[in-house]
Chain A
Amino acid sequence: MRDTLTSLRYRYWPDHLLGEILSKRWTETAIPVILLLIIGLALSRSIDNFLSPASLADTARQAGEIGFIALGLALVVIVGGIDLSVGSIFALTDFCALYCLDVLGWPVPAVVAVTLLCGALLGAVNGVLIGYLRLRAFITTLITLIIYRSAYDLLIQRYSNAIASAFPDIPSWDFIGAGSVFGVPTVALVYIVIAIFGHIFLTRLRPGWHITAIGGSRRSAYNSGIPVRRTIALCYVASGVLTSIGALFFASRLGTVGGDIGVGLEVIVLTATVLGGITLGGGKGSVAKSAVGVLIVLLITNGLTTMNARGGVNRMALAGILLVAAMVDIRWQKNRTRIISKVYVAPTYHSLPPPPSTEIGQGGPFEQNDKLRNVESIGLGRIEAPEDVILDRHDNLYAGSRHGDIIRFLAPDYQKMEVFAHIGGQPLGMAFDRADNLYVCIGGMGLYRITPDGTVEKATDETNRSMRSVNDDSRLRLADDLDITDDGLIFFSEATVRYEMDEWPVDGLEARGNGRIISYDTKTGATRTELRGLKFPNGICVASDGQSILFAETFGCSIKRYWFAGPKKGAVEVVMDNLPGYPDNINLASDGNYWLALVGMRSPSLDLAWKMPGFRRRMAKRVPVDEWLFPNINTGCVVKFNEQGKIVESFWDLRGENHPMITSMREHRGYLYLGGILNNRIGRYKLDNADPNFVQYDNRWGKQS
């Protein structure tokens, strides 16, 4: 009953998604967006006409104006600085535009050009001081804030009457402020265009990357040859220009030069920037974040104004939000990886019935014996981590090593050892094709092909991305074992899509079906995921019927069959389940049966823990990996099973002294060769009653002349 509830709870509640979602970079934008939706919904419920076209257009106009300033500030913040003078620049450029238009009577294009130039110059002052003279951004822009503001105050004393008395009637000027295209205000359109360019600039263009790099680490950026000073200075110039664009729209909309224009604007824009999720420390941010932040701030201030809140309350609310947002931002940036690593591991319910007996005297197909006691060692102490072993038509023996090599031991005595090919990743399963190319699964890299002359070629390292997975599962993380069909289709297993190869124990702790089986067509080069949701799929072997493959699910303790052709195409059937150990590689035997390596044996304590996901989750959090309850992979055995899934024979090494671990085996000319991923040797065992002329790939592809 309790187990049923636990199993239902873990089957239908996707625990693993939380960690995957949190580790996505877009979550940092998603949170402000959700906040925006909540606020929008709340305000539209409490204020009438909040979402009417007129109200929306008005909001869009304001949003556009502030949006430009926020874009500029975003650039400056991403590059690692801050610009407090935006409010004063806004006021000065507003004055500049109206002065040129109303007092000097210039044509509109000239007004626009001069205003932008004015903004650029004002920003350049900041830029030179901060970028080239290395002054502190905060104090510098605070000072320019005061200077620009004083300048503005002096100027409006003299010219405000002249500006206020002028009523220019220029259609193009009015279009800037009040025009709209298909109901969308001009300012919003221009903002959208510039925002799209800004997004491309920041994410796709070299200067944008430079800005992010400088914000992330100024010293590293300098050491990589990025012109740090110039880039920083230009960011302030850009901030000035963008502010002046906002001021232009403002000027044409209202046409006033009141004393309070731009006062407190820096707080609004700063709040928007931080609220959108642009980190004040620099190096992180996007245009989308800036836009979302602006909308949130505008909705809040407009909402408060509509609800008749006084100006003081409004500003206080903004300041409060700024404080909270900055705090959340800092805590999140500091603890992000820690939080993710804590919630990423999500064990699930995995129940296995009591295993068949293995004790001596209890009988049964798995009764332990000492047949493997006389295993000889090949390459003892000279090879490390031969997960799989394979023999070619000329009796040479190949095995992977953890140094990323394919090692070849030369027939007939296997004393001479040479590096056949260097790949760089840990070689796992291996198979020869018809033309004697060696296909190898490389943990962390994918499927590789080694031609008979030792040239290494990549076969595939990605497959189709599944639509329902949050993690990008198109890259191969842990290609494990493979076999090749008569038609040149390679089926290979990928043990897990959630972890790297060295993290296999974490996958075992989760005991979720994180693995899959993928096919690679040697003729077309196409890669396709065939099966997913498998519990650490491992060994693969094309069955004798040529229409199906047998595959092992290590943590599922089962062998299954998958039909890739014939009448049952696409079906999956259990061949053997509830094995007493963890199945690994499968290979053909000379008598038509199959060899199966059990890499480790089940222990009752882990079987119980697999039924208790909460226990394992806490263990993952509190206990270091070295002390976790592991699948026991110190003892294993080799079994032979037939087409019907019956165990024919088992081979054990009771003490495990000669050959501590078995991950693979390969029959060749009356001998069984044994590999083990944590071994420093290859085992060789003389089989009784085996065909002394059996050569797997002669048998498979026909003898070569």
Chain B
Amino acid sequence: MSSTFLGMPATPPRSPYGTGNLRGDRKFPKAAHDELRNEQLRRNLGRATRTIRAKRLAVTAELPDWEALRDAGSAIKTETMNRLPELLEQLERNVTERGGTVHWARDGVEANEIVTRLVKATGSSDVIKVKSMATQEIGLNEHLESAGITPYETDLAELIVQLAHDKPSHILVPAIHRNRDEIRQIFLKEIPGVDPRLDNVPAHLAAAARAYLREKFMTTKVAVSGANFGIAETGTLAVVESEGNGRMCLTMPDTLITVMGIEKVLPRYQDLEVFLQLLPRSSTGERMNPYTSMWTGVTPGDGPQDFHLVLLDNGRTAALADRIGREALNCIRCSACLNVCPVYERAGGHAYGSTYPGPIGAVLTPQLAGMHAAKNDPNSSLPYASSLCGACFDACPVKIDIPSLLVELRHQNTEQSGATAEKLAMKAAATVMRHPKFFTAAQKGAGIGRVIGGRDGTISHLPPPFEGWSASRDTAVPPKQTFRSWLASDEGTATMRAAADEHAKNRKTTEEEK
């Protein structure tokens, strides 16, 4: 047992600043501003999210017990977080008993080092990879490359992203921002020996990827995967996928290295009966995904004979220490919240700057990596990348209350921001509104706004510290005079008197009609 447990509990650290892919290089509004100009991106995204929304609704409506499954899924994840230490120790014990080796990583840097060391020990200079959010989060590919090891992404969308030297923009379909013509161009340019007559038919593009990767699957000795679930009770790991690239990576090589976030553990094998219904229907909108692989340690004569499980913290314990925010750890990475989000649908995944985009990314990223790790931390803008419409909450298969988490993060951001201009302005406004004389003077002062308003009567750029407000909306100029000064004028008095006369006349007419 750790000595820290016996003393005062310390707040666990976030993912170290400057490592991995949990922070963009600019704030959301600025990044979104540029992405919104990309009409191709918006067309691709709009079409894709519409399609998948319809599919999800159809297959979730099919199950009369969908809400009961969500309740169970939510409760199982809550139970998991409460019992996390014992469940991880149980998982470790069972994986080890079945011939696997378990490693622990405090952060992404340590996980990258462990994986690199394990790959080097095999003597292989190549690894094949199953799509994995955790390894994307820690920047494993970049680290492997710097150590002279070539990672080959084998999921079609991840392959497209890797070949285009691009970044993923969606949890489930990382190349959703690309259309078939763009993908054809990428393949023609980047796949060695591809048929130059390759057209843009998705089936033909998929066939080109199959031909390219087939040889890698047959010859590469090491694979790296993530895990959708790790069962504490049995030591079983599960990878949910569609293409068969997962099965290839989990079956063909001699060595398998799985990187799993510590929150992915589930208490019981039986719990799979819930998540194997929730995940595919929420994620791809299918009754079941084409392939799911489950393995427990090493099976003699079947699959990799050398198996390593790397358990990753990287800020997860910091999220767990937040009474409200910890709920984000319940996420099963289905991406349903992205597909229903009006902000994601327009801005796209890159604007969030993190491996985790969309509504869940806006709550998970600041919790894993912090919001104030740097001056003007881009992550501090993420809780505001939402209209709080609540569609994400309704879509979430484990009922994460994302809007409430966003509001809590906004609160934390304001608290941590110190003496901001906004805080000072609010304080000043409170004083002014308590004193009628100040209030009248302030209203007179607002008349200056008419000068910067120009002819169209709107202000599109407010001076600091109010530029944040005017960056995303126009401000109407203040009227010529305040209501109170108008009421006191001759015109005001005459208008009020006329209105009173009119009212008296109407009342008289109504009474006569009776």
Real binding pair: no
